[in-house]
Structure 1
């Protein structure tokens, strides 16, 4: 019963407001070692896949194009999101290492929430890239110059940071005088807010408002881009041309569904799903930070011929 004892000790740690404890996967403590196997496997594949993707894009001149620059941004963001969460999660599952300082918790929260917002912005940029490539192909190179791509990346970065910084300041002002056990495997914003012994409606409102506003805005912009793309594709003469044009969007659409669907479901469950078992919510939220980073390089590698050919060539050279 050492895990129960640790949680009891951490409950009594309210005298030290700088120390918090992550609960792990509540209700499945006896299965932590087994649960660590798929998480470790997904994390390893995510690291290898995204590092390979970044290397291939950097070293292959034919991939120095707008679409692949945005894909490199996505790969870097996926690396940040997975490395921010998975090492601590695995240390909980393997070593029962639950302690985390409040400052480290805020840093983790900053990277998680800001880089998700940055990723959302990059997905919008990738939708715009596909819109220009299909609807205005003759102007593609002149519209999406390296300067424009850099500005889009910086705008996504600035937006992500500016959204999250107020969230952290609102959290720092709260007193934590009761339990310091965060019912999660990482410092999820609402899980930490629920531990405060003061009114938290501002924190809850700001978190929900920014999530709905910016995710809603980004999804709307992506939808508008694809409505225009669909109209253009359907106007093409032959079925072969239509399939070829829309085939360039499949990888991006997969990335959109993998990123947005779990986040929206997790946010709704955390605020309104009181009947959902805690371990279901924790598992869903944790998988969200490792499954898309694992799948994105696989999907783009399979669907994008230039990347697929370059990776094959890379492994052939290593074999010889």
Structure 2
């Protein structure tokens, strides 16, 4: 019986990972379709009915492309860094509360922050091991951008922790049955959304992959299956950030239709922002983080701590 339970748990995790990967494929199709209509064109519409199999043809093309071994690269780190990024994205999935009977961490928010912090090392190894000036410049810009916005994002997580006194996502679901946190603190709702866009390197904060000045940034020397790992990790993080964001501020369970619909809206908003806003200047991006966002978050954190101390003393 124990062996059967272990097998069923393992089988459920395999199905979960396959479902996420298929979801990533169709997220790319959704993005290309929406951007096509935003730019007054059709988008993918040739492969099968309305281009529905376009992600699979792209995957086959990427997997069978030739992978050229470059000269003067640090081969071990060059090959291992995209795989580590992909594994880090999968590791976050294992902590999500899919139901009360499955695996859910008591300190998931700390675990989530740790995985996000380790993602910087993946970009650093990829850019350094490629031995290219363009990739190194893209890696440096990515690290400074990610570190800047992770500071404000982690402080927002600590503010949300003060609402429930728990790092477990199940408690966020339990405490938001009557009143959602986005209504209580809509300012942190908006700032966290902006910080997540910057953390995911999406437009208008996509300085990591600035094609006009960096020739695709840190992943310029990657091709074929190595580029596929980077691509999958990036879009998988968009879906996972969406689930985390919805649970944090709406309290919907992972298996609810409302959760899936809300995550879909989150992803469509990111796509529409990419299609409508121009890229910022890099110094404006950093000033916006350190002078505007971080100031507001620090004031909100101070206000929350003072309010909590007063309430504890009052009661």
Common topology (TM > 0.5): no
Structure number with the higher helix fraction is 1
Mark the structure with the bigger radius of gyration: 1
Q: Which TM-score bucket, shorter chain as reference?
A: 0.3 to 0.5
So what's the TM-score if we normalise by structure 1? Answer: 0.33
